[in-house]
Amino acid sequence: MAAFSAAGLAVSPHKVGPDYIDPGYHALATGRPGRNLDAYLCGTELIAPLFAHGAAGCDVAVVEGVMGMYDGASGQGELASTAQIAKVLRAPVVLVVDASSQSRSVAALVHGFASWDPEVRIGGVILNKVGSARHEELLREALDESGVPVLGALRRPSRCGRPRATSAWCRWPSGGRKRLDAVAGAGGAGAGGL
């Protein structure tokens, strides 16, 4: 979101679920209010109108998922899952995959996500925690035959400065803007191919 904003696009940020911490970070990254899309609390029928209201006048809308793509309200199937919201909005999903400790297996993992529910459209994958240029090459080769494009790759960080939200209160640490800019810079480097 920060990379798109830095590129001059008006970004409409959204978050699946009843989260209030992530939408705060989204607002910092985009300069626009972060909005929740929660089918459990507001009902499935309001998701598309809420999304359209938030996205009005923007160049791009980004929806951050919740937990795993198919995880939602416990014991209620797909209700309130990222997959359900993607289907309601008919939006492509950018799957972010932890690529550490694997090479060819990443293709099986992505195939599983892409084939689990044929109504969910995987638009591409971002490889996260890639160890080296050679590791990235192996991952890309494995995914070539999957039909799911690799949109980018992020190297395994040595240390991430993002503050951790561990309670109901999330304090912005000193130097927070500097840390946000560092995270945006890292995302911008990986978002160049988007």
Per-residue pLDDT of 49-96, as tens digits, reads 999 999 999 999 999 999 999 999 988 999 999 999 999 999 999 999
For residue 162, which amino acid is it?
Answer: R
Average pLDDT taken over every residue of the chain:
88
Residue 97: phi and psi, rounded to 5, are -115, 130
Residues in the chain: 194
Q: Which residues of 9-42 are buried (b: 16+ CB within 10 A; e: fewer)?
A: eebbbbbbbebeebbbbbebbbebebbbbbbeee
Give tens-digit pLDDT for 16-57: 999 999 999 999 999 999 999 999 999 999 999 999 999 999
Mean pLDDT over 163-180 rounds to 55
Tell me the CA distances in angstroms from 170 to 38, 136, 167, 183, one per residue in order.
21, 35, 7, 18
What is the dihedral sign for C-alpha 146, 102, 3, 24? positive
Q: Which run of H or E residues covers position 96?
A: strand 93-98
